[in-house]
Amino acid sequence: MKKAWQIDREIRENAVPLDRRVHDSNWYEAGFEAPYGDALLDMFWSSKVPGSSAPEIPYVEMTQALGNKGYDVSAAEAFLEEGMQLHAQGKVDELRVVTAKILHALKVAQPDPQHAYQQFQHPDTWEDIQRAMGNVQKAPSSAWQEDYSERIYQGWVGQLAGGSFGTCIEGYTGKRIAEVYGVIDSYITEPETTNDDVVYELAFLDAYRTMGEHITSEAIAMEWVKQIPFGWSAEWVALRNLNMGIFPPDSGSWFNPYSEWIGAQMRGMVCGMLFPARAMEAARLAYLDGVVSHARNGVYGEIFAAVLTSLAFEVKDVHQLLELGMEFIPQQSQYYAVVNNALQKIKGGGDATTIWESIEEDLKCYNWIHAYPNIAADVFALWLGRADFTKTLSLLAVAGMDVDCNGGLVGNILGVMNGVPEKWSQPIGDLLETYIKGKEKLSIRELARETADLAAKNKMD
């Protein structure tokens, strides 16, 4: 019997990217009908990622994800290959039964006391997370500066440029990406800003516009319910929970195998832009947002993204930025261990591909959407890219994984820090497109202005 992570790894290693220079993407459009019933069942047994068409099997992935959190998922794994066969044969009635058995096995799975996950400490509340941080006093802070408005704009442009860069190659290994595209140092296709990542930041801003610094997780969650018709992985579970009346923080943790995937990490940048050079406040906002859909290491990922973005307003050296940002991660958590391990391998030297292969080998049991391999890719690209926007994005392609989320994070950080080169900013213009009703077409400049206006109102303690 194959383990879930082994099935997933085989899918990833064998998947060859469609050449997006000759294939169109297939993003959702506003007003689309979210799948349910047998349509959802079919999608979760065989999916193609919008934008890149990378293959994935969510029922395999959720089993893998719960196993990564230290649970014994062998009972669920026993049904996976049978489910894959039934789906391929179109035997929907029998597939429903097998799927129900998999979900039940995951629901009753118990922690494995011998699993490596159990060796780490994972505080849940904001107060406990703060106590578990390192020497955060080393981080610089500043009151609002006149140039922050333009730098927030550059941050948004960098995020959208990085996301656009990665959309057509997400979900593949760096090796496979190189086979199709070679070295990538520019947009592969005409960039499009349509993406499922940014919609959560827009919903967050709507809640923040109403409540300001007194924002609550529940208020953010209600914007999700109002505006976002469908999500993926952790966000899909969170929306399901919210619509059943399960509110934060339970919405992010209850029967959510994906709660330590990338979904919170990919959206923490807006919190950093709302509190430039005020990293602890950015971290607090990220916590409030993160627990809507994630828990523990997934939430730490959003905190780290928010802190790096916030610190980038004052810290000009990416090496110093990363090391300062690590102080805000709970020091005894597995997330910290992953970041630190990646950083030590990078500091050990060697050519970029060899360094990444060593990092990737350590994380081979994690899905390409999990927070761990992706934050490792971000650290790898930022450290070796040395604040060069093009080189940093190119290194993300070497790593593969969730390249659009990673491009959004590092693009935002570098945009805030140094601005976005015209090579990357000019092609996307001033247009952000989403699948949220009423927000199908937005001005990036106007979005940045509104973000800056909200940020400028936040007073220093």
66-103 per-position pLDDT tens digit: 999 999 999 999 999 999 999 999 999 999 999 999 99
d(CA 231, CA 435): 11
The residues near 190 (Cβ < 8 Å, ≥ 6 apart) are 427
Both 70 and 164 in one domain: the answer is no
Both 108 and 209 in one domain: the answer is no
In a domain, 279, yes or no: yes
Our CA dihedral for 25, 30, 31, 33, rounded to 10 degrees, sits at 40
d(CA 177, CA 236): 28
pLDDT given at position 104:
98
Q: What is the pLDDT of residues 155-177, one digit of tens each?
A: 999 999 999 999 999 999 999 99
Both 156 and 43 in one domain: the answer is no
Number of domains in the chain: 2
In a domain, 161, yes or no: yes
In a domain, 461, yes or no: no
In a domain, 242, yes or no: yes
CA 420 from chain center: how many Å? 21
pLDDT given at position 460:
63
Both 94 and 137 in one domain: the answer is no
Both 97 and 207 in one domain: the answer is no
d(CA 236, CA 230): 6
Both 347 and 446 in one domain: the answer is yes
Query: Which of 234 and 31 is assigned the larger pLDDT?
Result: 234
Both 67 and 154 in one domain: the answer is no
pLDDT given at position 265:
98
- The CA-based angle 44-49-52, given to 5 degrees, is 160
Both 302 and 267 in one domain: the answer is yes
Q: Which amino acid, one-letter code, is at 219?
A: A
Both 105 and 210 in one domain: the answer is no
Both 99 and 202 in one domain: the answer is no
For residue 190, give the CATH number of its domain. Answer: 1.10.4080.10
Confidence (pTM) = 0.96
DSSP string, 139-204: S------TTHHHHHHHHHHHHHHHHHHHHTTTTEEHHHHHHHH-S--S-SSS-----SSHHHHHHH
Q: Which amino acid, one-letter code, is at 417?
A: M
In a domain, 222, yes or no: yes
Last residue of a domain, one of 99, 119, 139: 119
In a domain, 64, yes or no: yes
- Per-residue DSSP letter, 5: H
With beta carbons less than 8 A apart as the criterion, state whether 454 and 208 touch. Answer: yes
190: Cα within 13 Å, side-chain hemisphere: 5
d(CA 210, CA 226): 15
In a domain, 61, yes or no: yes
Q: What is the pLDDT of residues 24-61, one digit of tens each?
A: 555 556 566 778 899 999 999 999 998 899 999 999 99
In a domain, 137, yes or no: yes
d(CA 371, CA 382): 16
Last residue of a domain, one of 119, 150, 171: 119
Give the H/E segment covering residue 443.
Answer: strand 441-443
DSSP string, 356-398: HHHHHHHTTTS-TTBHHHHHHHHHHHHHHHTT-HHHHHHHHHH
Both 161 and 110 in one domain: the answer is no
Tell me the β-bridge partners of 441.
Answer: 433
- pLDDT of 106 > 80? The answer is yes
Domain membership of residue 44 as a residue range: 4-119
- pLDDT of 22 > 60? The answer is no
Q: Cβ–Cβ contacts within 10 Å for residue 160, how many?
A: 29
d(CA 286, CA 447): 19
pLDDT band at 194; cut points 50, 70, 90: confident
Last residue of a domain, one of 119, 134, 169: 119
Both 170 and 262 in one domain: the answer is yes
d(CA 259, CA 122): 13
Question: Which ranges constitute the DSSP H helices of 69-131?
Answer: 74-89, 92-107, 126-131
Tell me the β-bridge partners of 322.
Answer: none
